[in-house]
Amino acid sequence: MGDQTSGRHLNQQASGAQPERPVRTGENGAQRPRPAARQTSGAARPVNTARTAGPSGTGRPAQPVNTARSASGARSANAPRSASGARPANAPRSASGARPANAQGARPSNGQVRQGGQAVSQRQARGTAPARPSGPNGPKRPGGKKQGPSGDLILRYAVLAALFVSMVVFAVMLGMTKMLSGKYLVIICILLLVILGIVAALLLVFGRRRRPWAGIAVAGVLAIIMIVGSVAAMRGVKTLQTITSPEFSVSHIGIYVKNDDPAQSLDDVGSYTFGILDAMGREYVDKAIEDINELLPAPISVVEYASPPQMVDALFDGSVGAVITDVSYIEGLGELDEYKQTVSMMREITNMNVEIKVEPSPTPEAVEETAEKHVYTALISGIDSRNGLVRSSLSDVNILVTVNTQTHQVLMVSTPRDYFVPFSNTGTNDKLTHTGWYGIEVCMDTIGDLYGVDIDYYFRVNFEGFVNIIDALGGVTVDSEKSFTAGGYSFSKGQNTLNGAQALVFARERKSFAEGDRQRGRNQMAVIRAVINKALSPELLTSYNSLLKAVEGSFEMSVPYDLIAAMVREQLDTGAAWNIVSYSVTGSDSYATSPLLGMNVYVMVPDEATVNTAKGLIDQVMNGQTVTAPAS
């Protein structure tokens, strides 16, 4: 107590404090001291005092304190301490020695002191940190500008905004696919909003007092998922639109000479006479000749022939020096025993892809009208071309599919490639596979005439591309009716898990069976059924991107995209199971003259009883009845 008194006297002497004024009494009788008069003028008087010994036992040396009194007489915060280390307050006491609570310079209870009529921290009062000016709406930066939100808060809002934008884009992309009905889109939007709310809580509420790295990580992952989903949705739409609406029909045209001909390029054969076909693929050959004439100094001369064998025979008897034709015709001749050796003695010196613009897909109004139907027919045509999905090629797989979307019935009728039937464009009988040389339209019309139906659409797939599709699906499980070995692979009766190469051998083989092409047709439908089952399974999601890549360039169809989307929506809404039934027509082995080849070839004469059975099954599906596979 004596130390504090000495300290107070020293402080009063150094500061030149004035005598106290009379004491005023409050309502409750307590004395309320009036502050002593301050010096109102004159320069501040520096007081240089030294701190006496520090607290007992600390050994802390005394520190000089340089304080100055302001013009108003107030002492700055750096006032000297007493011997005990206490800093006196710059306020007069009452006669009883009590310090008034509201005196200027009193230390607030929160550890702050008052300086210049404003509460400041002790660190700022000692001059080690500047006081930050304040405004009515919070702290201000020097210069009077209000301090903005922290960088941490800006980061949270930026991440949340990025997630919101990615979700909006994802929802829009899903809507553009047209494959989800309104109720599913609403459910997805609600789920996205719920997820957004949870992430917002993580970022702005739970992560308020610490850096919200967990919320930022969750938002980033979700945004990436939304972006990937949007890209996948648009890629799927683009791929389907490409294969459903091809802009051009492509024919692979080649120029051939004999193996011993010295010509090596187009310039070397410019003076030759060329053999061409008078009707088959003539539109594409004529366009190729136009391109050739632009490259050569003079137009070429041509001679027309009625069939591929006649044209090839003219090359080898010297009537022409070269031939210009669709490559598929030469490949088809190479399958015949009579021309295998001849074709092997021919050499292609150059080739070109000739494109001709095709008719546009049905308008939306036409698609809307067809969408009201519930029964559709389509032809699955499988070609075997090393040049990709070209316009003209032998049609080795011919499966008529009838679909009833109300009863969820699917009927697949396989027709052997060697069926000897009248062609729709010529009226003469020939092998069904040769219709592919005229194009898919002739093939559709010829099979439609056979079964008495109008075929609405077609699916074309190249066998080489078929391999890629099955590999993209991760293989398929095929049910084989028989055990056999072919192409270096062994197939057992029952379930077989096959990759693309194995499935191709399984679908092509016919020499291992007594029924030959009949059994091959059944095996082909078994592979198609396995592909459909795999495509309808959840495993499709894991191979989505690779499957889209596989179908590009190896698969095309004439089904409008809007109709596909409508069928997908209906399937998602109903979730119904489909009944898939297969049937193969048959016939008797024979030989007949092929008008296209001008020679006798192996053919299969249709068995009218099996054809009539197929017609009856088609009628059942169209009439909404449930079909079952007939006993074989």
DSSP 176-216: HHT-S-HHHHHHHHHHHHHHHHHHHHIIIIITSSS--HHHH
Question: Has residue 367 got a pLDDT over 80?
Answer: no
pLDDT over 70 percentage in the chain: 72
Residues 458 and 559 in one domain: yes
Considering only CA atoms, which of 400, 406, 342, 343 is closest in space to residue 374?
Answer: 406
Angle between helices 544-551 and 463-472 (to 10 degrees): 180
Distances (CA, A) of 100 to 17, 23, 106, 130, 346: 16, 12, 8, 28, 120
Residue 512 lies in a domain: no
Residues 159 and 303 in one domain: no
Mean of pLDDT values over 476-494? 93
Residues 578 and 595 in one domain: yes
CA 270/CA 273 separation, integer angstroms: 8
pLDDT of residue 541: 65
pLDDT of residue 301: 95
Q: Which of 213, 244, 275 is the last residue of a domain?
A: 244
Confidence of residue 61 (pLDDT cuts 50, 70, 90): very low
Considering only CA atoms, which of 446, 420, 383 is closest in space to residue 589?
Answer: 420
Question: Has residue 72 got a pLDDT over 50?
Answer: no
CA 220/CA 226 separation, integer angstroms: 10
Mean of pLDDT values over 597-619? 93
Question: Has residue 14 got a pLDDT over 80?
Answer: no
* pTM score over 0.85: no
Angle between helices 213-244 and 182-201 (to 10 degrees): 160
Contact present, 236 and 174 (Cβ < 8 Å): no
CA 449/CA 419 separation, integer angstroms: 13
Residues 426 and 564 in one domain: yes
Ramachandran assignment for 151, one of left (phi > 0), alpha (psi -120 to 50 degrees), beta (any other)? alpha
* CA angle, residues 214, 220, 226, in degrees to nearest 5: 140
CA 180/CA 378 separation, integer angstroms: 24
pLDDT of residue 12: 44
- Please write the tens of the pLDDT for every residue from 327-358: 989 988 888 888 999 999 999 999 998 988 87
DSSP SS3 for 527: helix
Residue 305 lies in a domain: yes
Question: Has residue 221 got a pLDDT over 80?
Answer: yes
Question: Has residue 198 got a pLDDT over 60?
Answer: yes
pLDDT of residue 48: 45
Mean of pLDDT values over 109-126? 54
pLDDT over 90 percentage in the chain: 39
Bridge partners (DSSP) listed for residue 274: 302, 322
Question: Has residue 256 got a pLDDT over 90?
Answer: yes
Question: Has residue 149 got a pLDDT over 90?
Answer: no
Question: Has residue 227 got a pLDDT over 80?
Answer: yes
Residue 112 lies in a domain: no
CA 18/CA 36 separation, integer angstroms: 6
Q: Which of 244, 267, 296 is the last residue of a domain?
A: 244
- Please write the tens of the pLDDT for every residue from 280-317: 888 999 999 999 999 999 999 999 998 899 999 999 99
Residue 506 lies in a domain: no
- Please write the tens of the pLDDT for every residue from 230-254: 998 888 888 888 888 777 788 889 9
Confidence of residue 556 (pLDDT cuts 50, 70, 90): confident
Contact present, 336 and 597 (Cβ < 8 Å): yes
Mean pLDDT score across all residues of the chain: 78
Residues 402 and 548 in one domain: yes
CA 607/CA 185 separation, integer angstroms: 51
Residues 348 and 368 in one domain: no
Residues 421 and 390 in one domain: yes
Tokens linked to 587:
């016939």
Residue 96 lies in a domain: no
CA 12/CA 18 separation, integer angstroms: 9
CA 219/CA 166 separation, integer angstroms: 10
Amino acid found at 275: G
Of 245-249, 490-494, 589-593, the one with minimum mean pLDDT is 245-249
Compare 503 and 361 and report the one with higher pLDDT: 503
Confidence of residue 276 (pLDDT cuts 50, 70, 90): very high
Residues 259 and 196 in one domain: no
Q: Which of 334, 357, 380 is the last residue of a domain?
A: 357
Question: Has residue 28 got a pLDDT over 80?
Answer: no
Residues 299 and 406 in one domain: no
- Which residues constitute the domain of residue 590? 364-463+517-622
Mean of pLDDT values over 543-557? 78
Residues 441 and 385 in one domain: yes
Considering only CA atoms, which of 436, 419, 422, 396 is closest in space to residue 602?
Answer: 419
* Strand 24-25 versus strand 346-357 pairing type: unpaired
Instruction: Please report, in angstroms and rounded to a whole number, the separation of the first and last CA atoms in the chain.
Output: 120
What is the count of structural domains for the chain?
A: 4
CA 410/CA 399 separation, integer angstroms: 12
pLDDT of residue 322: 97
pLDDT of residue 569: 87
pLDDT of residue 386: 67
Residue 110 lies in a domain: no
Tokens linked to 413:
């009728």
Bridge partners (DSSP) listed for residue 591: 602
* Strand 46-50 versus strand 64-68 pairing type: antiparallel
> 260: how many CB neighbours lie within 10 A of its CB?
7
Contact present, 457 and 558 (Cβ < 8 Å): yes
DSSP SS3 for 603: strand
* Strand 457-462 versus strand 375-383 pairing type: parallel
Residues 397 and 535 in one domain: yes
Q: How many helical (H) and strand (E) elements, i.e. helices and strands, does the chain have?
A: 18, 27
pLDDT of residue 115: 54
Bridge partners (DSSP) listed for residue 495: 479
Mean of pLDDT values over 381-388? 76
Tokens linked to 399:
């499966």
Considering only CA atoms, which of 91, 108, 109 is closest in space to residue 100?
Answer: 91
Q: Sign of the CA dihedral 84, 87, 92, 94?
A: negative
Residues 307 and 433 in one domain: no
Question: Has residue 448 got a pLDDT over 50?
Answer: yes
Q: Sign of the CA dihedral 476, 482, 485, 487?
A: negative
Question: Has residue 122 got a pLDDT over 80?
Answer: no
Question: Has residue 520 got a pLDDT over 80?
Answer: yes
Residue 126 lies in a domain: no
DSSP SS3 for 303: strand
CA 124/CA 113 separation, integer angstroms: 9
Mean of pLDDT values over 7-32? 46
User: What is the residue whose two structure tokens read 């209870």?
Assistant: 109
What CATH number is given to the structural domain containing 553? 3.40.630.190
Residue 98 lies in a domain: no
Compare 96 and 260 and report the one with higher pLDDT: 260
